[in-house]
Every structure is written in C-alpha cells, then in structure tokens.
Amino acid sequence: MISVLLAFIAIAAIIFIGFFANMLLKRAGIPEIFFLVLVGVLLGPISGLFPSSIADALIPYFSQFTLAMILFNVGLELDLNSLVREGPRTAARTTIYVLLSIALITLIFNRLLGWPLYQSFLLGSILGGETTMTVVPYVARELSSRKVYASLSVESALNSAILIIIFSALLSSYQASIPLELSTASTIVAGFFAELSIGVVIGVIAAVLWVKAMRVFSDADYLYIATIGFMLAIYALVDAVGGSGVIAVLTLAFTMSNVRLVADPLSIYLSVPAELKRYIMNFQDEITFFLRTFFYVFLGLVLEIRSFLSPQIYVLSLIVMGILVLSRFIATWSANAPERTDDKLFIFSMMAQGLTPAVLATTLLEYDIPMSHEMVMIATLVIIMTNLVTIVGARRQASRPVRPPSAPPQPGGAGTQPSP
C-alpha cells in the first residue's frame, strides 16, 4: 500500500516535471513525452514504488475519461471555416495517410508477420496518423506560413478524430466477437453507422440545448466544470442507448464551437458568448495539460520489463515507423503537389504522435486483449520515433529564412496548446 506522503510527493514531482517539460517543448522543441514516460518507468517497472495493480485498477476510468477529453478538445479546435477553406487538400492528405498506413500495417503484420487480423487492424488504427496534441506546438513555434499552419492544424485534429472513431468501431466488433471477413462486412458497417447516427443526432441536440443553457447561466460560477459534467453525461447516455459515446462527444464539442456559423444563415440567434468561449478554451488547456502529463507517466507505469528486453518489439516498431514514413511521403506528395518543396518537406516531417495513440493503446489493456502489452510498447516506441522525426523537421524549418507575408499564429487558443 502506497503511503499518502509518497503519493503526494510523486504527484507534485510529476506536475513540476510536466510543467518544465512543457516549457522545454515550447523553447527547444523537445517533447515532454521523453521525460514523462521515463518517470513512469522509474516509478513502476524499475523501482516498484507504484505496483502494476494500481495502474490496472485505474485503466478503465483514466483511459475513458482521457479519451472523452481528447475528443472534446478536438471538437472545440475544429473550426468550420478552416475545414471549408483547407478542406480538399487537407482531407485528401489525411485520408491517404490514415487509410494507407492502417492498410499497410494490417497487411504486413497479419500476412507477413503472422499476427491475428484483429490485433493487426487495431495496431494500425492506433498508430495510423499524427495527433493534435503533439504537432500543433511545433507548428506554432516554427512555421512562417499561415496557410501551412492552418492546413496542419486541421489535419492533426481530423487525424485524431478519425483514428479514435475507427479504433472504437473495431473494438466494438471485437467485443461482439464478429469476425473480420467479407461475409460480416455488412454487419460491421451497419453497426458502425447505427452507432454513428445515434451519436451525431444526440450530440447535435445536446450541443444546441447546452449553448442555450450557457447563455442563460453565463454569469454563473464553475460553468466549465458543469460543461464537462454535461459532456460526460452525454457520453454515458449515448453508450447506454447503443450509440457511440466518442462520436457524440466529438459532435457536441464541434457543434458548440461552430454553432453560430450554422445558426446565422438560418436566422437563428444562437452562439456562445465570446468571453465565455475564451474562458472554456483556457480552462480546457489547463485540464488537457494535467491529463497529458499524468497519462504519459501512466503509460510508463503499464509498460513491462520483458517488452524492454525483447529485440522483436524494437524490430516491429521500426517496421511500423517505416510504414508511417512511406505513407506520409505518398500522402504529402500526392495531396500537396503544387506546394513548394520546402513546405512539402516540412508537412512530411510533421508526423509526431502523442496522447491519442497512448490512450488507445492502453485501452486495450482494459479489455484484456491478447498481445495488448506488446502493442502498448510498440506504440510507445513509435511515439518517440515520430517525435524525433518532427524535431528534425522543426529544426530545419527554424533554420529557413522567414517569409515576410504572414506571421506565425500566436499561441493561446485551443488550437495552439499541446493537448489529442
């Protein structure tokens, strides 16, 4: 049993390490995951101060709450104007990258390496893209082109949402013991669209009702906490009625963030007051920092020593990394053919992964899926390697002459803090 004193000391140390690691990320471009996962490994597998039983007990609650918060943050970050403006090229790059990387990981791991089909597909859905929480800080620091910044910000948010949706659909099929075969494809697709429809409809209705409530109670204290409570209630409600809670949360946040753009053309006065929206965004950044910091440490706690000592895990991680590099190159050069070569190289290098794959990988442990510990270790190594690639790209971008026409976006909104 861990003493209260030891727990408080560990929590304080983790918060301070996360705080200074975040400063290092913004000033030197070194991701905090390097330090925080190491802290988790030292506290758990190596020293045994925090036994794995504690992490096992926390997984069902911590991972699901963090997943809901990632999607809530992604939904708030997605701006409808940016989606329309950057849509075709960004959507093409995102679609090619995600689908190609998932397909190649699934094919190679299943056909060539002998992994079960579900595990191969789940691994692909965990690692098939870059994520908001990691890419945006690099872009905010280094990018001189507002157009490329907007494109990467939209792509990383879309990427997180798509991966979580695909992963959730696969996990639901796995739990229902539906085999991944052509004969069952219609069943899987029908089930997915049923969950999608319920999640979207309830998410939109809930967003409209909550925006109205926020206008009525705009002067009330603790409105952000009430919003989080409402979000969690919608997540649970939609799951209880057979829908997708993750899609409902994403829809709720996206509709709340963009409700005025939809309501104005219909002559409906419906919007979140600007001051209240800034308050929610700022508080969301604080909560996201807290969750990100502790989840990276949590990721280190659940790693197994035997995985560290397995050469096979490192080989498999390098194979995944090679697939991601190839897929990223094809996606960037296909969708961004008209762009300058320097911009394409920078976009190509912005492939860092972070909180989203970490949460998805540890979610497997909750359901006791075979090979889940191996997938967690592979995900951890791939997260580290993709961040190294992005560091190189950011350094190269920083050494380029700044183009005067557009200044880099200023940090401070939901889209500029490292969060999915």
48-63 confidence digits (pLDDT tens)? 888 878 888 888 888 8
Per residue in 231-269, pLDDT tens?
A: 999 999 999 998 999 999 999 999 988 887 666 554 455
Residue 396 has pLDDT above 90, yes or no: no
C-alpha 87 chain-centroid distance: 20
pLDDT at 411: 43
Domain ranges of the chain: 4-398
pLDDT at 406: 47
Contact call for residues 119 and 105 (beta carbons, < 8 A): no
Mean model confidence pLDDT for the chain: 83
Helices 80-107 and 117-127 pack at an angle, to 10 degrees, of: 150
Q: Give the confidence band of 270 by pLDDT, cuts at 50, 70, 90.
A: low
- Mean pLDDT score, 294-312: 88
pLDDT at 140: 56
Residue 198 has pLDDT above 90, yes or no: yes
- Mean pLDDT score, 105-110: 96
pLDDT at 419: 40
Residue 375 has pLDDT above 80, yes or no: yes
pLDDT at 258: 84
Residue 137 has pLDDT above 80, yes or no: no
pLDDT at 337: 75
What CATH code is assigned to 4-398?
1.20.1530.20
pLDDT at 414: 39
pLDDT at 199: 93
pTM recorded for the entire structure: 0.85
Q: Give the confidence band of 122 by pLDDT, cuts at 50, 70, 90.
A: very high
pLDDT at 269: 54
Share of the chain above pLDDT 70, in %: 85
Per residue in 280-293, pLDDT tens?
A: 878 888 888 888 89
Contact call for residues 256 and 207 (beta carbons, < 8 A): yes
C-alpha to C-alpha distances, 41 to 19, 34, 44, 53, 100, nearest whole angstrom? 19, 11, 5, 14, 33
Per residue in 142-164, pLDDT tens?
A: 554 566 667 777 887 888 888 98
The 3-state secondary structure of the chain reads: CCCHHHHHHHHHHHHHHHHHHHHHHHHHCCCCHHHHHHHHHHHHHHCCCCCHHHHHHHHHHHHHHHHHHHHHHHHHHCCHHHHHHHHHHHHHHHHHHHHHHHHHHHHHHHHHCCCCHHHHHHHHHHHCCCCHHHHHHHHHHHCCCHHHHHHHHHHHHHHHHHHHHHHHHHHHHHHCCCCCCHHHHHHHHHHHHHHHHHHHHHHHHHHHHHHHHHHHCCCCCCHHHHHHHHHHHHHHHHHHCCCCHHHHHHHHHHHHHHHHHHHHHHCCCCCCCHHHHHHHHHHHHHHHHHHHHHHHHHHHHHCCHHHHCCHHHHHHHHHHHHHHHHHHHHHHHHHCCCCCHHHHHHHHHCCCCCHHHHHHHHHHHHCCCCCHHHHHHHHHHHHHHHHHHHHHHHHHHHCCCCCCCCCCCCCCCCCCCCCC
Residue 43 has pLDDT above 70, yes or no: yes
Residue 329 has pLDDT above 80, yes or no: yes
Per residue in 90-105, pLDDT tens?
A: 888 889 999 999 999 9
Pairwise CA distance, residues 42 & 55, whole Å: 14
Tokens of 124: 């692909």
